[in-house]
Amino acid sequence: MEKAVVRTIMLRLMPLLGLLYMVAYIDRQNISFAKLQMVGDLGLSEAAYGLGAGLFFIGYCLFEIPSNIILERMGARVWFARILGTWGLITVALGFAWTPTSFYILRFLLGVAEAGFFPGVLYALTLWFPQAYRARAVGTFMVASAFANAVGSAIGGALLTLDGLGGLRGWQWVFIATGIPALLLVPVVLMVLPRGPAEARWLSDAQKQWLAGVLAREQTERGIEQPLKALGDRRVLLLAVTFLGFPLGAYGLSYWLPTIVKGFGVSDMANGLLNVIPWLCVAAALWWYPRYTSRRPDRAWYVAAPLVTGAVCLVIANIAPGAPLKFVALCIAAAAIFAGQPGFWALPTRILTGAGAAAGLAAINSVGNLGGFVAQSVVPRIRDETGSDMAPMLFLAICLVLTAIGVMLIASRLGPSKIAVDDPDRNRA
């Protein structure tokens, strides 16, 4: 029963959620390619452009908790459709930004529109998967972000070559073409996504009863169910601060990687194709690493180890001779930065459940995603001050090491996991 239910949910639910996340991530990544032309057209410095790009995360942070609380009440189907529709419209509108001010406003509104999607999925997964399967479910879901970066890199470079088509610049086509898929997926979500397991026509009554029983038992083992109590819990606040390093490293690298590769002296098309490689490495890491670590009880160490690996590789990328070795180090760093995230998101569910999980996960993600704002504003400033494309990578390396230390410290405050070894093949009574 257990294997059949989890396998069915994985096959029915994760492809759609993964597709939505891929569209969302392409929507976030498009700005790194639009930057190559947009800076000159709008008369922006690197730092000013980074500030505008980072305003997305301010809007995201301010509205993420309210968005997730509404999602908990309205259900994922309706609320995800609303999120998709609004962010698609705003992304298309970005293709027609005519001044720095309009660019800043639209980036902020895009963050407001998309707020709640990622933590909303994390909360939704707690309604569908027993605790033992959540890390790998999150890892499977996040594989879409890697493919999004890979596909987005190829598409971004290709769309820039449309410069002049229809009287539009290449960077305008980047925004228009990446905003339309979100609009097309709105009716798909409304028709296909169930509100919860009870509405899933592809689960039998016996399967629904089994899943409801397992989730009910697990809810009684965790203590925080009230949203306000979750938001005020010191451990949740510490998790939020600790999570800062993950998006800081991820967005700092993804935002700056096209610029680094461009510095190797390649064309826009070659830049896009080369940027596919690091994200294929990320996809492989997100698929394999959660499954490898799920059979080992020391979750904190297996979250922290990839962060340290990523930091070391970013340092190597600065000192390695020649573009090929630098690029290999950046590929490994990208995979390592993302690999520990699914294990991290298993930590809050030790203490959160129900509406408390919706609010707590949103708080952790919203505060943590300010790391994206720091990455997109500080990284260009470091480049401007040093004149080096690689110097920002040293800043990211330091942040990753501090995050690894934070993970080890906060995990000790959460207490042991209720499931010591996350292994779906274990025997059950």
Find the mean pLDDT for residues 71-84. 89
- Return the pLDDT at 421: 39
Tens of pLDDT, residue by residue over 211-246, are 888 888 877 656 677 777 888 888 888 888 888 888
- Return the pLDDT at 424: 42
Domain limits of the chain?
A: 2-414
Highest mean pLDDT among 90-94, 114-118, 237-241, 320-324: 90-94
Tens of pLDDT, residue by residue over 327-360, are 888 889 889 988 888 888 878 877 777 778 888 8
Find the mean pLDDT for residues 38-67. 80
Q: Which residue has the higher pLDDT, 413 or 422?
A: 413
Coil, strand or helix: which one is 256?
helix
- Return the pLDDT at 82: 93
Which residue has tokens 């294990």? Answer: 343
What is the band of 415 on the pLDDT scale with cuts at 50, 70, 90? low
Alpha helices, H only, 100-204: 100-114, 117-128, 134-160, 170-192
Give the residue among 137, 370, 65, 132 at the shortest CA–CA distance from 242: 370
What is the band of 84 on the pLDDT scale with cuts at 50, 70, 90? very high
- Return the pLDDT at 389: 64
What is the band of 189 on the pLDDT scale with cuts at 50, 70, 90? very high
- Return the pLDDT at 429: 35
Q: Give the pTM.
A: 0.76
CA angle 136-140-142, nearest 5°?
A: 115
- Return the pLDDT at 420: 39
CA angle 114-142-47, nearest 5°?
A: 55
Give the residue among 308, 84, 262, 73 at the shortest CA–CA distance from 157: 262
What is the band of 86 on the pLDDT scale with cuts at 50, 70, 90? very high
Tens of pLDDT, residue by residue over 278-316, are 888 888 888 888 877 766 655 678 888 899 999 998 888
What is the band of 36 on the pLDDT scale with cuts at 50, 70, 90? confident
* CATH architecture of the region 2-414: Up-down Bundle (1.20)
- Return the pLDDT at 268: 66
Structure tokens that stand for 378 in this block? 């500080």
- Return the pLDDT at 308: 93
What is the band of 93 on the pLDDT scale with cuts at 50, 70, 90? very high
Q: What is the b/e burial string over 105-137, where b = at least 16 CB atoms within 10 angstroms of the residue's CB?
A: bbbbbbbbbbbbbbbbbbbbbbbbbbbbbbbbb
Find the mean pLDDT for residues 153-163. 74
Residue 428 has pLDDT above 70, yes or no: no
**Residue 428 one-letter amino acid:** R
Contacts of 47 (CB under 8 A, 6+ apart): 377, 380, 381, 384
Backbone angles phi, psi at 252, to 5 degrees: -60, -40
> Dihedral angle at the C-alpha atoms of 103, 108, 112, 114, nearest 10 degrees?
60
What is the band of 153 on the pLDDT scale with cuts at 50, 70, 90? low
- Return the pLDDT at 423: 43
Find the mean pLDDT for residues 176-205. 90
What is the band of 416 on the pLDDT scale with cuts at 50, 70, 90? low
Tens of pLDDT, residue by residue over 137-151, are 888 888 887 777 667
Find the mean pLDDT for residues 147-166. 74
Q: Which of 23-37, 73-87, 98-112 has the lowest mean pLDDT?
A: 23-37
Find the mean pLDDT for residues 200-208. 89
Q: Which residue has the higher pLDDT, 196 or 154?
A: 196
State the chain's mean pLDDT as an integer: 81
